Structure 1
């Protein structure tokens, strides 16, 4: 299923109008969605959780949070922000327990990107 960019943002619980204001052109939004799909930060976060590496988890989350905010991926940004704060000062069992919530949101975003641009990560 191919969807337009507005539908893509709706599917990922993002804010298309905000992304459009920030980046000004759909082609730029698509360009950065593709870059997001290639970014290794989420897999780094998963590896950090598996290794109990709080610093790597925080850095990966901080990157995900920033990119999600810049691309107006609202729901992903909110989940990443919550987890980022939990890991800010060290290991967080609560944060590790909520990693699956971020994964669910990340997968929803990736599915929306794949359906919009025909991209498979």
Structure 2
């Protein structure tokens, strides 16, 4: 499916490496990617940050990081990494609201990949 490869590369992800994780099956990949918008970790991260519960925020961000990495969603992965590391270090004074906004924007872009593939394909 050339459409997925094209959309994926425009998004900024490594198509070949990601597809190797999914045994070269774009259908399996798209099925799993379609579950992304239902994942609750973005909301958990938001609520934990608002409550100042940094251990819970770290857990949610770390889960998002793993998911983004496994799905090859490089821009989302990078945004989440920028949030995970300060949370891991319990960095005081970090502007988590700004970091979360970046994660939220990249999550939305990543979740939209399925629709983009449908439009192009």
TM-score by length of 1: 0.82
Partner residue, 1:59 = 59
User: Any idea what SS the aligned residue of 1:88 has?
Assistant: helix
Q: Within 2, Cα distance between the matches of 1:104 and 1:93?
A: 22
Query: Structure 1's 21 and 95: CA in aligned 2 closer, same or farther, altered over 3 A?
Result: farther
Query: Structure 1's 109 and 93: CA in aligned 2 closer, same or farther, altered over 3 A?
Result: farther
Q: CA RMSD in A?
A: 2.1
Matched, 1:106 2:107: yes
| Count, aligned residues | 116
Q: Within 2, Cα distance between the matches of 1:86 and 1:95?
A: 10
Partner residue, 1:9 = 8
Query: Structure 1's 56 and 11: CA in aligned 2 closer, same or farther, altered over 3 A?
Result: farther
For structure 1, list consecutive stretches of 5 or more residues without a partner in the other structure. none
Conserved? CA contact 2:33–2:111, under 8 Å: no
How far apart are residue 91 of structure 1 and its match? 5.9
Query: Structure 1's 56 and 117: CA in aligned 2 closer, same or farther, altered over 3 A?
Result: farther
Cα deviations by residue, 1:46-104 (Å, 9 ceiling, x for unpaired): 11111111011101100110011111111111111121111013365425132111112
Query: Structure 1's 93 and 31: CA in aligned 2 closer, same or farther, altered over 3 A?
Result: farther
Q: Within 1, Cα distance between the matches of 2:52 and 2:118?
A: 35
How far apart are residue 45 of structure 1 and its match? 0.8
Q: Within 2, Cα distance between the matches of 1:29 and 1:78?
A: 20
- Runs (4+) of structure 1 exceeding 4 A deviation are none
